[in-house]
C-alpha cells in the first residue's frame, strides 16, 4: 500500500439504537438513528477531519468503524478487508493497525495501572515484546510524546490533562498502527496545551506514516490538522471536501452556518463579517425531519426539501454535498483544487 491508496472505505454505514419497552417481552418503539447511512474514504497518509455538533453521530461513527460497537448495517473495509460481521478473533490482527485516542484524558486511562503498564499492555497483548525489551520500547514511546522515562512508574492522577493525553497517544502508537481515530483529542485541554498536542500529532504523522480520522467540534482545530473534512448532521455526512475548499466555499447551508457561527478572535474582522445565525435547535435523532433533515433550520429550504432526501453528490471537483440548493457552486466548481 502506498500513500494515497484508500486505507479505510466506509459504505452506507448505519448504527441505530433501539428504544424498547414492554413488560414480559421487549418490543421496539423507536430508534435513535445515531449513524444513518455514512460513506467516506480515508487515504493512506491522509488526515480526514470529521466535524459536527452534539448528537450528529461522529463519536458513534468512530466506534462503529472500529467495531467497538456492532454496526446495524453497512460496510467498513480496512486495508482491503471487510470488518463488519467479523468475529473478535478475526478482528484481532487487524486491530493492531487501528487505534483510538479518546476525548477525556481523565476517563480514558485506568487509574489503577501505572503508565508503563498502560502503554505497554498493547505490546504485551499482541505478543510483540516482553520484559526489558518491553520496558525499553515503552520508555522510547514516552520520550517520543514528550514525557520522561521516569514517568514509567507513575499513576495517571499524577499528571495534568495534557500529559495524560500524551500518555493516551503513546498507548495508541505502541503498536505502530496505520490508522489512529482521534475522538476530540484536544477538546478537554486548555488552549495553550492544545497547540502542543496538535503539533505533536502532526510530527508523529510524518514520522510514523500515520493516517488520522480526526473528530472535533472546533472548526479551527479541524482545519489546522486535516487534508479533507466531512461535515455531519443528524447521522449523515452533508458535505465532504478538501479542507480549504470547505472553509472558503462551503456548499451546504449547514456548513455555511457552522462557519458563520465561529467567532473570529479579531474584533474588527469579526464585526465586519456577514453572519448567519440559525434559529432553533438540532432535531432529535429519534425522529429526524422528513426529506432533508436540515430543512427545519435552513434559511433556503423549499418544498422539495421537506419531502425528498438529497443525495451526497459531487458538485465540484472532489467536493460533495447533500443539498437540493447547493451554495457557492459556480465558484466551488471553478476553484476545484485539491
Partner 1 sequence: MSTILKVDDLRVSFATEDGVVQAVSGVSFELKAGEVLAIVGESGSGKSVTAQTITGLTRAPNARITGSVAYRDRELNGLDDDQLRDVRGEQIAMVFQDPMTSLNPVYRVGDQISEMIRAHRDVSKHEAADRAIELLRSVGIPNPERRVRHYPHEFSGGMRQRVMIAMALALEPDVLIADEPTTALDVTVQAQILRLIDQLNRDRDLAVILITHDLGVVAEIADRVLVMYGGQIVENATLDEIFYDPQHPYTWGLLGSLMRLDQSRTTRLAQIPGQPPSLLNPPPGCRFAPRCPHVFDKCHELPALEARAGTSHLDRCWLDPEEKKSLRAQVIP
Residues that bind partner 1 (CB under 8 A): 53-54, 160-163, 190-196, 198-199, 202, 217-221, 223-224, 243-244, 247, 257-270, 275, 277-278, 281-282
Strands 179-183 and 98-101: parallel
**127 or 267, CB closer to partner 1?**
267
CB of residue 47 to partner 1, shortest distance in Å: 12
CB closer to partner 1, 95 vs 223: 223
For the purposes of burial, counting CB atoms within 10 Å of the CB of 265, is it exposed (0-12), middle (13-18) or buried (19 or more)?
A: exposed
**Smallest separation, CB 55 to partner 1 (Å):** 9
| Complex with partner 1: residue 76 or 230, whichever CB lies closer | 230
CB of 117 to partner 1, least distance (A): 24
What's the min distance (Å) between Cβ of 287 and partner 1?
14
Distance CA 46, CA 44 (A): 5
The whole-angstrom separation of Cα 112 and Cα 329 is 54
Q: Can you tell me the distance from the alpha carbon of 116 to that of 137, in angstroms, rounded to the nearest whole number?
A: 10
Asked if residues 116 and 106 have their Cβ atoms less than 8 Å apart, the reply is no
| Of residues 68 and 276, the one with the C-beta less far from partner 1 | 276
Contacts of residue 228, Cβ cutoff 8 Å, sequence gap at least 6: 46, 47, 48, 49, 240, 241, 242, 243
Which DSSP helix (H) or strand (E) runs through 279?
none
Comparing CB distances to partner 1, the nearer of 177 and 235 is: 235
Residue 160 CB, nearest distance to partner 1 (Å)?
A: 5
Least distance in angstroms from the C-beta of 260 to partner 1: 8
Contacts (Cβ under 8 Å, ≥6 apart) of 299:
253, 276
Query: Do 177 and 98 contact (CB within 8 A), yes or no?
Result: yes
Q: Other CB atoms closer than 10 Å to residue 272's CB: what's the count? A: 9
Least distance from partner 1 to the Cβ atom of residue 282, Å = 7
CA distance 70 to 88: 11
C-beta of 31 vs 248, nearer to partner 1: 248
Closest to 328 measured CA to CA, from 233, 248, 241, 254 = 248
| Residue 80 CB, nearest approach to partner 1 (Å) | 31
Pairwise CA distance, residues 56 & 231, whole Å? 9
Nearer to partner 1, 127 or 265 (CB): 265
Number of H helices, E strands in the chain: 12, 12
- Contacts of residue 87, defined as CB under 8 A and 6 or more positions apart, other chains included, come to none
Q: How far is CA 214 from the centre of its chain?
A: 4
Whole-angstrom distance, CA of residue 166 vs CA of residue 185: 10
Of 53 and 309, which CB lies nearer to partner 1 in the complex structure? 53
Q: Give whichever of 169 and 174 is closer to partner 1, judged by the CB atom.
A: 169
Amino acid at each position: 500500500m502506498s500513500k494515497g491508496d484508500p486505507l479505510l472505505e466506509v459504505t452506507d454505514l448505519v448504527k441505530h439504537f433501539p428504544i424498547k419497552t414492554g413488560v414480559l417481552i421487549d418490543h421496539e418503539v423507536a430508534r435513535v438513528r445515531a449513524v444513518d447511512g455514512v460513506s467516506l474514504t480515508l487515504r493512506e497518509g491522509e488526515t480526514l477531519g470529521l466535524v459536527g455538533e452534539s448528537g450528529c453521530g461522529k463519536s458513534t461513527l468512530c466506534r462503529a468503524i472500529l467495531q467497538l460497537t456492532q454496526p446495524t448495517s453497512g460496510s467498513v473495509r480496512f486495508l482491503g478487508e471487510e470488518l463488519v460481521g467479523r468475529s473478535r478473533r478475526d478482528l484481532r490482527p487487524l486491530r493492531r493497525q487501528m487505534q483510538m485516542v479518546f476525548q477525556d484524558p481523565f476517563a480514558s486511562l485506568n487509574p489503577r495501572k501505572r503508565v508503563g503498564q498502560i502503554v505497554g499492555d498493547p505490546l504485551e497483548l499482541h505478543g510483540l515484546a516482553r520484559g526489558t525489551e518491553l520496558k525499553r520500547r515503552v520508555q522510547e514511546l514516552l520520550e517520543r510524546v514528550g514525557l520522561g522515562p521516569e514517568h514509567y512508574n507513575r499513576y495517571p492522577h499524577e499528571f495534568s490533562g495534557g500529559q495524560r493525553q500524551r500518555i493516551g497517544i503513546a498507548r495508541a502508537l505502541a503498536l505502530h498502527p496505520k490508522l489512529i481515530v482521534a475522538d476530540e483529542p484536544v477538546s478537554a485541554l486548555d488552549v495553550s496545551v492544545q497547540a502542543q498536542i496538535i503539533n505533536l500529532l502532526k510530527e508523529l504523522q510524518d514520522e510514523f506514516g500515520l493516517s488520522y480520522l480526526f473528530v472535533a467540534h472546533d472548526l479551527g482545530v479541524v482545519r489546522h490538522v486535516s487534508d479533507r473534512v466531512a461535515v455531519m448532521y443528524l447521522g449523515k455526512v452533508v458535505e465532504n471536501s478538501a479542507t480549504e475548499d470547505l472553509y472558503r466555499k462551503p456548499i451546504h447551508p449547514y456548513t455555511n452556518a457552522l462557519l458563520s457561527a465561529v467567532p473570529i478572535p479579531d474584533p474588527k474582522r469579526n464585526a465586519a463579517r456577514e453572519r448567519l445565525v440559525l434559529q432553533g435547535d438540532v432535531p432529535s435523532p429519534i425522529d429526524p425531519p422528513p426529506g432533508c433533515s436540515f430543512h427545519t433550520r435552513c434559511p433556503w429550504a423549499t418544498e422539495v426539501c421537506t419531502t425528498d432526501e438529497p443525495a451526497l453528490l459531487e458538485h465540484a471537483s472532489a467536493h460533495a454535498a447533500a443539498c437540493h440548493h447547493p451554495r457557492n457552486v459556480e465558484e466551488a466548481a471553478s476553484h476545484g483544487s485539491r
